[in-house]
């Protein structure tokens, strides 16, 4: 282990990564560079700097970055272009943040001449895989330190004991409540795992949810909004142009107010087990609904179906941590290409947990041709007799087989 001289630590400032910081210093006798990202999780980052300084980290080796715009523009939006949903329900809020963190860790490795990275993800979860696959793809000889797979602080009690023994401040909540939910948050979502959620038959407690009001407490009045799309991405809300991360923040605000985006599910982790998670994804839930709606009038049927066929695979790639793998990039090439004409606007209604589409329009790219679809006289735009031949030829193989069947029996 002695060959590690400098390590970049993904540092939140919380208890776990503070213990890790100290443990790294003690165990590896190495310099530590801390990296703390603002991904829109809604927490102050300056306390992380203060803590890092307390541990003796040099000021110039404390990285605190606002990655919100990059996160939404280069990760969240590209993912939503594919209408990405894992296992039919999960909007991948945690998964999609990991590759950006991996990238920044490696950037900082390159800037600081470090030889290792370190993260606080456990050995049972997906996040370790996402961090490390990203890191290896971007810097193949990087060393990775995953304390949860190395040390023996495997219960919360041991962790707390270590903290107290090493003078690491422990907040009241940790001491008092036993283990809190395991949570993760960024602009796309907040997630909850562990504790009594470990029984998949137990309903989540109402006071667990943080970002959304309960539908019951949401306003009695519905709210409408309009999303304007440019090449598959939302560029404006209610006519007001915004940057990517502003779009998502605004949709979180609107969705949260109306109780939109709560989800309770059991998912299949890449490491082989099922786990139960609860998620709040207010803005993402609106984005998905809106994107399908704008595609519904601007995207060719077969391109849309091709995307639908590939989506579960693309979702699994992101869930499993393969954002930086060439097969994800190859799929993205196709997905991004498909969005060229996905321009227009969608009108949505939010009400007590529901998002409904009430209209969609595209001045430049609509493939909806009401002169053909109409139930009224279409002035010859479509010759109904064509359908006869269409059906006859599509039925031909079925008829030949049916005759063969009849002969056989």
Selecting among 65, 107, 156, 182, the annotated active-site residue is 182
64-70: Cβ within 8 A, 24+ apart: 64/35, 64/36, 64/37, 64/38, 65/35, 65/36, 65/37, 65/38, 65/104, 66/38, 67/37, 67/38, 67/39, 67/100, 67/104, 68/38, 68/39, 68/40, 68/187, 68/245, 69/243, 69/244, 69/245, 70/100
Least distance from a copy of itself to the Cβ atom of residue 221, Å: 9
Q: Which is nearer to a copy of itself, 154 or 241 (CB)?
A: 154
Could you write out the DSSP letters of every residue in 368-401? Answer: --HHHH-SS--TTSS-TTHHHHHHHHHHHHHHHH
What Cα–Cα distance (Å) separates residue 333 from each residue in 26, 263, 314, 336, 339? 45, 30, 12, 5, 10
Query: Per CB under 8 A, does 312 bind a copy of itself?
Result: yes
Q: Which is nearer to a copy of itself, 44 or 141 (CB)?
A: 141
Whether 207 sits among the annotated catalytic residues: the reply is no
What values do phi and psi take at 88, rounded to 5? 80, -10
> Among residues 64, 213, 242, 354, which is the contact residue for a copy of itself, using CB under 8 A?
354
What Cα–Cα distance (Å) separates residue 183 from each residue in 44, 94, 157, 230, 391? 16, 10, 18, 33, 54
Least distance from a copy of itself to the Cβ atom of residue 375, Å: 4
Whether 182 sits among the annotated catalytic residues: the reply is yes
Contact 301, 111 (CB under 8 A): no
Binding residues for L-citrulline: 90, 95, 126, 130, 182, 191, 267, 279
Query: Per CB under 8 A, does 333 bind a copy of itself?
Result: yes
Q: Which is nearer to a copy of itself, 60 or 221 (CB)?
A: 221
**Token reading at 359:** 């209209």
Whether 98 sits among the annotated catalytic residues: the reply is yes
Q: Which is nearer to a copy of itself, 243 or 392 (CB)?
A: 392
Least distance from a copy of itself to the Cβ atom of residue 341, Å: 8
Query: Per CB under 8 A, does 347 bind a copy of itself?
Result: yes
Taking the CB of residue 70, how many other CB atoms lie within 10 A of it? 17
Taking the CB of residue 257, how many other CB atoms lie within 10 A of it? 15
Residue the block writes with tokens 């962790």: 159
Q: Which is nearer to a copy of itself, 3 or 216 (CB)?
A: 216
Q: Where in 362-391 is the site for a copy of itself (CB under 8 A)? A: 364-370, 372-377, 382-391
Selecting among 98, 104, 262, 328, the annotated active-site residue is 98
> Among residues 32, 209, 324, 342, which is the contact residue for a copy of itself, using CB under 8 A?
324
Query: Per CB under 8 A, does 67 bind a copy of itself?
Result: no
Binding residues: 10-18, 37, 90, 95, 120, 122, 126-127, 130, 182, 191, 267, 279
Query: Per CB under 8 A, does 213 bind a copy of itself?
Result: no
Could you write out the DSSP letters of every residue in 98-167? Answer: HHHHHHHHHHHHHHHT--EEE----TTSSHHHHHHHHHHHHSTT-EEE-HHHHSS--SHHHHHHHHHHTT
> Among residues 44, 165, 201, 206, which is the contact residue for a copy of itself, using CB under 8 A?
201
Query: Per CB under 8 A, does 56 bind a copy of itself?
Result: no
**Token reading at 358:** 């009430």
- Strand, helix or coil at 57? coil
Q: Where in 97-156 is the site for a copy of itself (CB under 8 A)? A: 122-124, 128-129, 132-133, 136-141, 146, 148-149, 154-156
Q: Which is nearer to a copy of itself, 57 or 146 (CB)?
A: 146
Contact 188, 285 (CB under 8 A): no
Binding residues for ATP: 10-18, 37, 120
Least distance from a copy of itself to the Cβ atom of residue 175, Å: 17
> Among residues 268, 283, 284, 318, which is the contact residue for a copy of itself, using CB under 8 A?
268
Least distance from a copy of itself to the Cβ atom of residue 78, Å: 15
Residue the block writes with tokens 């603002």: 38
Selecting among 81, 127, 233, 338, the annotated active-site residue is 127
Q: Which is nearer to a copy of itself, 172 or 379 (CB)?
A: 379
Active-site residue list = 16, 98, 127, 182
């Amino acid at each position: 282990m002695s060959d590690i001289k400098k390590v970049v630590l993904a540092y939140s400032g919380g208890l776990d990564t503070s213990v890790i910081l100290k443990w790294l210093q003690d165990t590896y006798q190495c310099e530590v560079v801390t990296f703390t990202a603002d991904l829109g999780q809604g927490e102050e980052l300056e306390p992380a700097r203060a803590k890092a300084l307390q541990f003796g980290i040099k000021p110039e080796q404390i990285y605190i970055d606002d990655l919100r715009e990059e996160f939404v523009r280069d990760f969240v939006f590209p993912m939503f272009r594919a209408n990405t949903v894992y296992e039919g329900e999960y909007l991948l809020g945690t998964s999609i943040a990991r590759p950006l963190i991996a990238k920044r860790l490696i950037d900082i490795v390159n800037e600081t001449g470090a030889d290792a990275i370190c993260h606080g993800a456990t050995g049972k979860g997906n996040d370790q895989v996402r961090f490390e696959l990203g890191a290896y793809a971007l810097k193949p000889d990087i060393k990775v330190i995953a304390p949860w797979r190395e040390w023996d602080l495997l219960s919360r009690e041991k962790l707390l004991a270590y903290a107290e023994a090493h003078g690491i401040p422990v907040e009241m909540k940790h001491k008092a409540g036993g283990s809190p939910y395991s949570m993760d948050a960024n602009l796309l979502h907040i997630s909850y795992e562990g504790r009594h959620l470990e029984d998949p038959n137990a309903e989540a407690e109402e006071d667990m949810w943080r970002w959304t009001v309960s539908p019951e407490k949401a306003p009695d009045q519905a709210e409408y909004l309009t999303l304007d799309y440019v090449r598959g991405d939302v560029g404006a809300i209610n006519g007001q142009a915004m940057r990517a991360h502003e779009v998502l923040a605004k949709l979180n605000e609107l969705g949260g107010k109306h109780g939109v985006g709560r989800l309770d599910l059991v998912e299949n982790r890449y490491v082989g087990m099922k786990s139960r998670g609860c998620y709040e994804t207010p803005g993402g839930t609106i984005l998905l609904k809106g994107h399908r709606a704008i595609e519904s009038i601007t995207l060719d049927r077969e391109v849309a179906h091709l995307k639908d066929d590939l989506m579960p695979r693309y979702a699994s790639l992101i869930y499993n941590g393969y954002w930086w793998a060439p097969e994800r990039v190859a799929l993205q090439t196709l997905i991004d290409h498909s969005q060229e004409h996905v321009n227009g606007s969608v009108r949505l209604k939010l009400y007590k947990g529901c998002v409904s589409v009430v209209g969609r329009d595209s001045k430049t790219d609509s493939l909806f041709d009401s002169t053909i679809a109409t139930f009224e006289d279409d002035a010859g735009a479509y010759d109904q007799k064509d359908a006869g031949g269409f059906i006859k030829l599509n039925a031909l193989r079925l008829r030949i087989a049916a005759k063969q069947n009849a002969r056989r029996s």
